[in-house]
Structure 1
């Protein structure tokens, strides 16, 4: 590990949580250079919904490269891009009766968010954006302004200009309807909240602690946007691509956002981000918003293969089945360790086990020693975030959950010894 400490910036993060040198990976398993095996409940922070090195995707990439296919193409027309657009239209958009234009942004999710915010402001000729408490949308300037966690912000380098925050579903308690709260601010000319060009929201807040918006809340949010002529942007970067059981996380609510940002797993494990927009919002002039790496043809190839998982309902059904396993087993763990006051919440294949401040990090570290990679989330890192591949083998899923149980048992015994002075 010495070269990483010597050469790499102090900003490095995950290498501190998982201090080993990884070598190879397949499906939901990682192996370090000494051959030690780890179960992956992290999935590249949501990039690897289809697991590591899926043979179907790997073979398509090898064949494309052997053919000397275009790798870098800016926004020129290529065989790979055409195949992706056709597959995305026919497999994802058409069956859901969604009419969206596709814009390829830079390679990361924050690029897609920046593009959405810029376009919304241009179309509506308003500068304000509304985001939500505990929201996370990226760390470049516009996206950072819409991100709630102040760990990532500082007034000396990040401006909050033209961004306002409203309470997410449940933030003020279950008895407070935060849609009514939002509507009051928008309808009162003296509230201090300027009418926004857009409202941006995650239907399930991943980095914010796996906070799940209810169907009623999401429908109410769309109603507010229509009522006040505000564009609704769904950030589906982490919880889209099937993470909640349907390809888009908003499908369960039956809403139709004006824009959708996608990244992470849409590239089949390779960097790609895109913005979906209603056709009438596509008011760009040619070349008005560009990026050198907006056309990642290897990602187009990988993505086209990955979208084949959505040719039928098999994957959605598998996610529903494994979601029930996650929920059931985590609720059992919560019942067995009441001293930690655990809380379980989630949807599809993203679940949270909320623990007291500091405990989640301890469990993550203990689990890593036992062969499981799992990250924490939430404003105080108080949540263990379960984010395994959608394709994870059922036995591996149970094994990984068992490691969490064992890790909590170790911490519980350690705590009891401290309390009894042993």
Structure 2
């Protein structure tokens, strides 16, 4: 039996990433994964955005070990604990207050989809309406409520039932340059013959991750906020993948200056890979009755510990965002050089911060081929987009300049080999 036979024999066919990266991993540190056979892989995947601070970050692990050895609460539901109080204090002091944001914190179940489900439910309760507006190429999770707002046909087919109460509209840039897709939204809202029921909420990603690294302009987001505010429609920003520093600032919407009514956060909020998710909601939207929405693992206290340490370590001043900006400029320059070097691929470079895509509509199969070739050369990098046509760059925000250059060299070499 080879190393992967047990997974093939006993694990469900639903498994995905093991097929793209067919090796047994054993350890990890920073931006490096170590396989059981001793081989090393540079990580440009970061657990699909879960590990913004890298693997086993030394600023976090000692505090986690100390907490576990002290007998600290691990499973707390929504009871008050010392670890949870400390996280709330750090989050409000270093994240919300400096940005002038007034949000209540709802700790939902452990995944991003749990946060999206809660946000959609409370938005419907707060407005008394049911319709949701979501956008083309959006991804919000795979439980049924979140799946209804998700666009990809592969995921929607797997739902096995009708996915209703969602109106799909074109995202920024979907209809090409120079066309403001919000013209359609505003016209439909104002036309009683459009068939668009006044929505309870609009859910949007400022940068679409799974949809292909599509970036909404600040102007588009500002207009969307203006449209929703004028009509009493709540705005949810899904910051599950694009938040926690991934696009440069802590929140992906900061560049636009908008203030959403609700924000969903998960993936890297715990900083360590421990499951955790949050809904931020304006106080007037917090219409829940006690116990009206629960989740068994909404009180993962070890995640509160590492989440707090990360906030206190990286978000007390601008040093961390300055370093992200440096690596972002390095990444973008390298991707633009690659695109220029291989004109036959007709690459488009898109993204912000350390969330970038190299997209080829002319050769949509190219991204998958490069990902495979890169893995053979010691780099883990995934694809995204409706046709997996985008090579997706999600390195750790703590990656060094040398590591980033080394990974980009592997991408270039892999691209040359497949072309």
**Shorter-chain TM-score: which interval?**
over 0.9
- Quick check: 1:225 aligned with 2:228? yes
Q: Which residue of 1 aligns with 2:264?
A: 261
Partner of 2:16: 13
The answer for the alignment partner of 2:417 in structure 1 is 410
> What are the equivalent positions in structure 2 for 1:11-410 lying under 5 Å apart?
11-154=14-157, 157-268=160-271, 269-308=273-312, 309-355=314-360, 356-410=363-417
Question: What displacement does 1:174 show?
Answer: 1.2
Structure 1 CA distance for aligned equivalents of residues 94 and 162 of structure 2: 40
How far apart are the structure 1 equivalents of 2:159 and 2:383?
27
Cα deviation per residue 1:200-242 (whole Å; 9 max; x = unaligned)?
0000000000000000000000000011110000000000000
Where 1:249 maps in the other structure, the secondary structure is coil
Map Cα deviations across residues 233-287 of structure 1 (whole Å, 9 max, x no partner): 0000000000111000000000000000000000112100010000111111111
SS of alignment partner, residue 56 of structure 1:
coil
- How many Å separate the matches in 1 of 2:306 and 2:158? 40
**TM-superposed deviation, 1:340:** 1.1
**How many residues matched?**
412
Alignment partner of 1:23: what SS? strand
Runs of 4+ in 1 over 3 A off after TM superposition: none
CA distance 1:155–1:353, change in 2 (3 Å): closer
Task: Give TM-score, length-normalised by structure 1.
Answer: 0.97
Counterpart-to-counterpart distance in 2, 1:158 and 1:188: 30
Query: Is the contact made by 1:144 and 1:158 (CA closer than 8 Å) also made in structure 2?
Result: no
SS state of the match for residue 303, structure 2? helix
Give SS of 1:183's match. Answer: helix
Deviation digits for residues 19-73 of structure 1, max 9, x if unmatched?
A: 0000000000001001111000000000000000001111011000110000001
Paired residue secondary structure (1:51): coil
CA offsets, 1:291-345, max 9 Å, x none? 1100000100010011121011011001111100010000000011111111111
State the shift of 1:156 in Å.
Answer: 6.7
Structure 1: segments with no counterpart, 5+ residues: 413-422
**Aligned Cα RMSD in Å?**
0.8
Query: What CA distance in whole angstroms lies between the structure 1 residues aligned with 2:398 and 2:29?
Result: 11
Asked if the contact 1:209/1:383 (under 8 Å) is kept, the reply is yes
